[in-house]
Structure 1
């Protein structure tokens, strides 16, 4: 049977689906893929192929999750193939399925070795889909004249994330990312802030998929370990802010920032880094985090405003229903005439 959409993931460390507990210990890329695939399954026939899946196929949310042999063709004949991050796999599938539209869904900043593959992507008609405008603009600059068609569809947050009446603790700040995303620098900047606000505590929620050296752990740090999504959201509702004052790791989107904002929790972010300014719901969240006075002033402002109103708001264009609509529009574009980059943007 032809038609439908197949997502191909050759990089996940283990098989997963949308069933309860399946995404525990995995990152935002896998969670986003499941969210999009199962939302699209209401309109399209959707399959997710994973090279790490060795057992039988699984069903969840109307989506079939099956295995994938990286050296062979897909078992189905999809109208659209979406490959997560792997340019080489995308080009191989474009050769094996000449009638299909092939898109690389790029969630990361690629390495320099990828630049040499850009002309082959363009020649094969393979498109790149980025997760923020900042990400897409960086990609165009990185690839230059050899770039294939590049577009943007943001990662989604749930439609039901809103502030509630949970009381916020003015002395509680939250880091909720893998430690390789600048946690060592966050620790040092938290120490400097704690000298001014001795009662401050830093919660650290680590998804646990990557060990990373961070240096000494300061006093007042409370490790939460790996949290399921509902529990993480509860901490976002209680914390003064998402505490992310680092300039070492650039996010291509920053799902945790969008989710925190959606429940009224602001994020303390480095201005001009990755997609921070694009994802934050207001510019006041993005400052020079290398300036201790600026960090202390922003924290003091939020501590004064706590309880008066939500300290942040959601961005409606990140809602799952809106993002799914953009995916549906992309998939309904005729494959014979791939859209230019702007056709996939919000």
Structure 2
């Protein structure tokens, strides 16, 4: 592979996916944020690295703009790559150390580990596996969870925003709020917060863009809710541009990054978030967009203020694809250079 392409071979392993996925999922909708991020980063790295993406649930091989897409079981027959990137499953990363003892392995973590994973730190450290977290908040939380002595090497590389996402002249509807996440990310609580808002502002509507990959009991649906279904990425961005804000003051689901929050700001749409939860305050850094989600009066006051004069928001340049790709490329190039030096010794 190296001789044919001139690019260092890199394997991405996704043992978590229920089915194979590809770039066309961005156009049709239904992809989770992790899968979309992996595909975008793989595509951006394609000119410099030969990416092979092994996916759980994939049945057939496919050549894509995101690289070679292959079933997870094909990994047993794969040539030695310059680096392995494992999505979320630390035990899979540890297992691969035995199969590829001389290959650098990265655990690309997009979640907060549960209590039953406390042993992962010591195991990853002993195996020399580097963890890639998707925000500084994520990295701090992981270090605190694992303990200083057992923490492996941890690096932060943000999830990417398209470089072209910018505000435009789309008219905003002051009565339209938008929730654009899977329902398990606090939608039941958001319904309650929205219902409380409508008692004072009865003209409000709440549009729900549900990617559709997970069914979840959200309780009674308040009046004024509009279900948009699963949208393509382009259609979701159009909905963001129309909305007064992305309405996300839920207090229960902690985001490690929160890509839709960053995307909304990139197109000039303010985001209402609960400040003291996950990476919200890092990704939505403007204090004007942060509230105490437990306080209905704060939520109401902010919505009223934005209806009079929407907050002016912009994207963090550190989230842009060009910046993120540069960090990944630098990491993988250093890894390849180190491997070449070791082979020469």
Any idea what SS the aligned residue of 2:176 has? strand
Contact 2:83 2:335 in 1 (8 A): no
Higher share of residues assigned helix: 2
1:288 paired with 2:292, answer yes
Matched, 1:11 2:37: no
Which stretch shifts more, 252-261 or 283-292? 283-292
RMSD: 1.8
Q: 1:81 aligns with which of 81, 84, 88?
A: 84
Find the partner of 1:217 among 214, 221, 225. 221
Q: Which residue of 1 aligns with 2:5?
A: none
1:142 corresponds in structure 2 to: 145
- SS of equivalent residue, structure 1 residue 154: coil
Aligned to 1:191: 195
Output one character per residue of 1:174-208: Cα deviation in whole Å (capped at 9) or x when no partner: 00000000000000011111111111000011111
| Partner residue, 1:157 | 161
Distance 2:120 2:30 in 1: 31
Name which of 69, 72, 77 aligns with 2:73: 69
The alpha carbon displacement at 1:245 in A equals: 1.3
The answer to whether the 8 Å contact 1:153/1:327 transfers is yes
Structure 1 runs of 4+ off > 4 angstroms? 20-23, 335-338
Which residue in 2 is equivalent to 1:316?
Answer: 317
1:1-346 equivalence runs, <5 A? 1=1, 3-19=8-24, 24-55=29-60, 57-61=61-65, 63-69=67-73, 73=76, 75-144=78-147, 145-306=149-310, 311-334=312-335
TM-score (norm 2): 0.92
Aligned to 1:341: none
Secondary structure class of the residue paired with 1:242: strand
Residue-by-residue CA offset, 1:256-280 (whole Å, 9 max, x unaligned): 0000000000110001210001101
- Asked if the contact 1:261/1:281 (under 8 Å) is kept, the reply is no
CA distance in 2, matches of 1:125, 1:131: 19
1:16–1:5 distance in 2 versus 1, CA, 3 Å: same
Uncovered stretches (5+) of structure 2, i.e. residues with no partner: 3-7, 340-345
Distance in 1, Cα, partners of 2:257 & 2:34 = 10
C-alpha deviation, 1:15, in angstroms: 0.3
Number of aligned residues: 333
Distance 1:41 1:248, change over 3 A: same
> 41-50 vs 23-32, which deviates more?
23-32
| Shift, 1:105, TM fit | 0.3
Structure 1 unaligned segments of length 5 or more: list them. Answer: 339-346
Mark the CA change 1:113 to 1:20 in structure 2 (over 3 Å): closer, same or farther.
closer
TM-score (structure 1 length as normaliser): 0.92
Distance change in 2, residues 1:148/1:20 (3 Å): closer
